[in-house]
Amino acid sequence: MGSKNIDRRTFVEAMGALGALTVAGATLGTQPTAAVAAESAFPAPAKGKPVEASVDPKTGEVAVNEDVVVRYSGCVGCYCSCGNRVKLDRETGSVLGVGGNPYNPADAYPFLDFEAPLTEAYQSLSYANGKGNLLRGTVCGRGNGTLDGYTQPDRITAPLKRAGKRGEGKWKAIGWDQLIKEVTEGGKLFADIGEDRDIMGFKALHDTETPMNPEEPSLGPVSNQLIMLGSRSDGRGNFSSRFASTFGTINAYGHASS
């Protein structure tokens, strides 16, 4: 009965969110599923998610739940750049939950030494005497909620091309190769919806010699008319700035001043 109820609750929650939706035949943002053998030392709880491990409250002895993988990583719930802990179903690879990273000084203070074994990290999840109550890795409400935000069913998983006027909200799914070909080659990209305009693609714009405006050469070459926005203290800006500098634009902006 317990598992039946979980299924129903999950269903209701998903319906309450946005209703059923697929975008371009994409897979849905999966909700975690329990896949644990009945004879497991850690049977799936009737209520709640599978546990990471058991920890003896007196001795601190750790027995890891082999069905669950705990990995440590970074949070992008806001711009603070904390660490995080991601709990995964070993079989399906789906995310069961998130938490804090005891090795990261943003999440835990005091924090675990880099060389401390992972068993100490498991102990920080427990109430074993002198362990998790004194040193535990945490993430805030936003960090916990981020997982919910990113697992909504309206996630885009395939490239979309405008199928109506800009801003009209009409799209068609296209393949990856078509996406790359169209944006790099340019041309009359929206002729199918009656737009006759010839659009400059990346290849044509990648002119690092000709001034975009001969009257004002200090504005830079044609290639400087590529403008790139993005990066939320997420450490991904390096990739964008590498592209910008090799393409020949200085216009790569972090999402900081706004």
Partner 1 sequence: MSEKKLGMLIDLSLCIGCNACTVACKRENDVSLGAFNTWIESFDVERPDGRIARANVPKQCNHCEDAPCVKVCPTNASYRADDGTVQIDQDKCIGCKYCMAACPYQVRYQLESGEVQKCTFCHHRTSVGLLPACVSTCVGYARTFGDLNDPESDISKRLAEAKGGEVLYEDLGLHPALRYIGLNETEAMPVASAIHRGGNVMRPYEG
Partner 2 sequence: MINFQSSGKRTLANLAAGKLKIDVIDCTLANGSVTPTIPGINWIPIKPATNAAFCAALVQKIIADKTYDADALSFTTQKAAVAGGYGAYTNATYLVIVDEGHPNHLKLMRAADAGIDAPEEKDKDGKALDQFVVIDAATGQPAVHSACGKGALEFEGEVNGVKVRTGFSLLKDSVNEYTMEEYSEITGVSVEDLERIAKEYTSHGTRAGICHKGGSAASVNGIDTVMGAAVLHAIIGANQMIGGNAPNSPAPTTAGNGARYKLGTIAGKPDVSTKNATYISRTVKAWEKTDEYKNRVAAGEKDPKPLMPWFGNGAASDSQALLSIVNRYPYQAKILTSFMCNTLQATPGAMRDEVVERLCDPEVLPLHIVCDVFVGEHAQYADYIVPDVTPYESFGLPTTGTTFTGYGTTVRWQVKEPESMLLDDGRHASWETFLADVAQACELPGWGENAIKDADGKAWPLRDACDFYLKAVANLAYAEEPVADISDEEMRVQALDELPESFKAAVTAEEWPKVLNVLSRGGRYWPMSYVHDADGRRSRGFEKENQTYYYSEKRALNKNCYSGKRLPGVFGYNPETFTDLSPMTDHFSREEYPFGASEHKPRFRSISMLSNSPVMRDLCSHNYIELNREDAAALGIKDGDKVRATTPLGDVSEGIAMVRAGQTKGAFALAFGYGHQNYGAQDIEVDGAVTKGDPAVAAGVRIHQMLDPTVTGVTGDDVISIIAENDAASPGRCGGMFKIEKA
Does 103 participate in binding partner 1 (rule CB under 8 A)? Answer: no
Does 74 participate in binding partner 2 (rule CB under 8 A)? Answer: yes
> Rounded to whole angstroms, how far apart are CA atoms 60 and 120?
9
Tokens 């309450």, located at residue: 16
Work out the widest C-alpha separation in the chain, in whole angstroms. 78
Q: Answer whether 200's CB lies under 8 Å from 186's CB.
A: yes
Does 29 participate in binding partner 1 (rule CB under 8 A)? Answer: no
> Rounded to whole angstroms, how far apart are CA atoms 71 and 94?
12
Using a 10 angstrom Cβ sphere, with 0-12 exposed, 13-18 middle and 19 or more buried, the burial of residue 235 is exposed
Partner touching 97 among partner 1, partner 2, none, CB below 5 to 8 Å by kind:
partner 1
Segment lying near partner 2 (by CB under 8 A), choices 2-10, 34-42, 124-132, 214-222 = 214-222
Does 5 participate in binding partner 1 (rule CB under 8 A)? Answer: yes
Tokens of 151: 């697992």
Nearest to 80 by CA among 142, 149, 151: 142
- End-to-end Cα distance, the chain: 50
Segment lying near partner 2 (by CB under 8 A), choices 32-40, 43-51, 123-131, 248-256 = 248-256
Does 214 participate in binding partner 1 (rule CB under 8 A)? Answer: no
In the list 101, 123, 124, 126, the residue contacting partner 2 (rule: CB under 8 A) is: 101
Binding-residue pattern over the window 176 to 205 for partner 1, x denoting contact by CB under 8 A:
------------------------------
Touching partner 1, residues 118-147 (CB under 8 A): 125-130, 132-134, 136, 138-141, 143-145, 147
